[in-house]
A and B are shown apart, each in its own frame.
Chain A
């Protein structure tokens, strides 16, 4: 007779093996991507197109989120500081929080949904309809043609989008402060400059680039390893978004520990 713990232990074991196999597949995938980078003739023409699709087209949602985040930050700072802390610290809180944390993280999470899902669904559909095999038969390395331009575009465009989001978030905080909080522009800027360091912006860009790398690579990985039909594409898309979001939060903590 089997012990009662045999079934759950077996499930845990299978899960661990599956996870290890997944890491192995991802490592192989990352290695094939690194090997494909010199094929500039294949991905060169694609990368600008992908920069427009992944970056420029993502600006509206990123700016929308940043604007409302800036407004809320200013109002909550005012609510928290009332009577205890000078009001010009509203500028400090809006600037620091927007640049160091909420600009990159909220933009990253939004783009994980928009960009990561888009990549996984597109490449997954190409996989199940044999379009990736067709690329192979036409002597195109599909990693060079599909993955490298998306990852490079993500690496370049996430920081650009986050830079706009940071700026708009601070701008929205300033507009809120001078219109709703009886704060002058000079006071807001005084607070903004108080603890500002150039490294804050560099930190924001490093985080954004790492999020871009993670979201695009995860999207490409799950799309590339789709097998089956429409249901499998849906599953790959969901997995890409969930894993990307989790990885963004892990990277967020990692950079805080490593660089602050």
Chain B
């Protein structure tokens, strides 16, 4: 099963953020969505799990049009989708253990011992064993992102959505997070969407890269293809040269 977006529009008042997005994320692949700040990358990610409703168009996840789902069907679908937030969005009144256990406790068919096992396994995968009793305020930003990832994978989702997973991190921690994204794709065989504006990260983790520009998909291709792309807007972004993008606009 894959994620398919067809003609997706989203506006906030008079500001059009997504202006007819067509994109397919294939089963088992990692797709990086790149684009400048405010280009609508995070909005795109939120429409996939209906944290935001699209104004028009269709989004199919696991073969289901998310706009047509009832409240119960939507929550059932979300159990198959892990979401890693830009600033981790950990519940600050709960310990690391309880944060990771939260999704597992949603359905009452898992015993506390099974939950404890799954939490320990998830924390081990992100190399955060031994931090169970800490509060989010007691760990670093990089560690919080890892716990956020552990929380997202605890329910064994089919899809993982990452919103700027490396923003604000030092280069070493960025590489660690990138390696975790690769590890999750390899070991859990998930389909992933990684929203980022960090090109080094995008090249490292993605099978394909999609560039969002002025509300539309400007380019989709492999990392090798985007490196060879002649489009001045794409080149301007990946090479960090605003002059190219300005020339294209003129």
Q: A41-B108, A133-B51 are in contact. Are A139 and B89 (CB under 8 A)?
A: no
In the complex the two chains form, is B89's CB within 8 Å of A133's CB? Answer: yes
- Are the C-beta atoms of B89 and A141 separated by less than 8 Å? no
Interface residues on B, range: 20 to 34
- Type the 1/0 row for B37-68, where 1 means its CB is closer than 8 Å to any CB of A: 00000000010010100000000000000000
A142-189 with Cβ < 8 A to chain B? none
A129 is an interface residue with CB less than 8 A from chain B:
yes
Contact between B49 and A131, CB atoms less than 8 A apart: no
A68 CA to B103 CA, complexed, in Å = 48
Docked pose: A136 CA to B82 CA in angstroms: 11
Q: Which residues of A contact B81 (CB under 8 A)?
A: 137
Nearest CB of chain B from residue A10's CB, rounded to whole Å: 19
Chain A proximity of B209: nearest CB distance (Å): 24
**B76 contacts chain A at the CB level, 8 A cutoff:** yes
- Tell me whether A141 and B71 are in contact (CB under 8 A): yes
**A residues in contact with B49, CB < 8 Å:** 136-137
| Min CB–CB distance B98 → chain A (angstroms) | 12
The reply to whether the CB of A134 lies closer than 8 angstroms to some CB of chain B is: yes
B58-92 interface (Cβ within 8 A of A): 71, 75-76, 78-79, 81-83, 85-87, 89-92
CB of B15 closer than 8 Å to a CB of A: no
**Contact between B71 and A138, CB atoms less than 8 A apart:** no
Asked if B89 contacts A130 (CB within 8 A), the reply is yes
Residue B102 CB within 8 A of the other chain: yes
Greatest chain B CB density within 10 A among A126, A131, A134, A137 is at: A137
B87 close to A129 (CB less than 8 A): yes
Number of A-B contacts (CB under 8 A): 51
Q: How far is the CA of A133 from the CA of B85 in the complex (A)?
A: 9
Interface contact A136-B106, CB-CB below 8 Å? no
Whole-angstrom CA separation of A126 from B87 in the bound complex: 12
Contact-size category for A: 10 to 19
Q: When chains A and B are docked, how far (Å) is the Cα of A134 from the Cα of B82? A: 10
Given contacts A136-B78, A138-B102, A139-B79, contact A131 B51 (CB under 8 A): no
User: Do B85 and A130 have beta carbons less than 8 Å apart?
Assistant: yes
User: Which of B83, B86, B87 has the largest count of A CB atoms less than 10 A from its CB?
Assistant: B83
User: Which positions 112-144 of chain A face chain B at CB distance < 8 Å?
Assistant: 126, 129-131, 133-134, 136-141
Inter-chain contacts of A137 with B (CB < 8 A):
49, 51, 78, 81-83, 152
With a CB–CB cut-off of 8 A, which chain A residues contact B155? 138
A41 CB to closest chain B CB, in angstroms?
6
B239 vs chain A, min Cβ distance (A): 32
Judging by beta carbons under 8 Å apart, are B91 and A131 in contact? yes
User: Do B92 and A140 have beta carbons less than 8 Å apart?
Assistant: no
Residues of B within 8 A of A138 (CB): 78, 102-103, 106, 151, 155
Q: How far is the CB of A186 from chain B (nearest CB, A)?
A: 52
Known contacts A136-B78, A138-B102, A138-B103: A131-B92 contact under CB 8 Å: yes
Minimal beta-carbon separation of B77 from chain A (angstroms): 9
A contact residues around B102 at 8 Å (CB): 138, 140
A140 to B74, CA, bound (A): 11
Chain B residues with CB under 8 Å of A131's CB are: 89-92
In Å, the complex CA distance between A129 and B93 comes to 13
CA distance A136 to B66 in the complex (A): 14
Could you pull out 9 A-B pairs where Cβ atoms are within 8 angstroms?
A129-B87, A133-B85, A136-B78, A138-B151, A138-B155, A139-B75, A139-B78, A139-B106, A140-B102
By a beta-carbon cutoff of 8 Å, the part of chain B in contact with chain A is 46, 49, 51, 71, 75-76, 78-79, 81-83, 85-87, 89-92, 102-103, 106, 108, 151-152, 155
